Amino acid sequence: MKEISVQTHSRAEMIDITAAVQKAVREEKIEKGFCLVYTPHTTAAVTINENADPDVPRDILAALDRAVPLSANYRHAEGNSAAHVKSSLVGASELVIIENGRLVLGTWQSIFFCEFDGPRTRKVLISIIAG
């Protein structure tokens, strides 16, 4: 298992971590298999989406804000229930195919770390399965 540290800079943010994940795959020297990208946090997530137009992650964050307002009649006393809900909606992990030592991603796809309760220093764990 490998660990990537991600420093976030705002309350909600999507950070492209594809290069760091690809580097971890390269270091394992595995030609074929799977790469699990997982974040062990309850107010963050991992997703795959478009990297070309920065308005796409902005629109995703804005849509999540509309769907899950910052304040509603939440019970959780910490005050970050919206971030917990977004974390569950987006999900804590992505599994990516490895072929010829590289992540199999579409031309416009990147792996994003999603911060919903930043800024913080976060962890992303990478587990590579050969085969």
**Residue number, 51 or 80, with CB nearest to Zn ion:** 80
Site for Zn ion in 66-105 (CB under 5 A): 78, 80
Q: Please report how close the Cβ of residue 94 comes to Zn ion at its closest, in angstroms.
A: 23
Q: Is 39 in the site for Zn ion (CB under 5 A)?
A: no
**Residue number, 3 or 78, with CB nearest to Zn ion:** 78
Count of residues of this chain found to bind Zn ion when the rule CB under 5 A is applied: 2
Enclosing H/E stretch for 57: helix 55-67
The residues binding Zn ion (CB under 5 A) are 78, 80
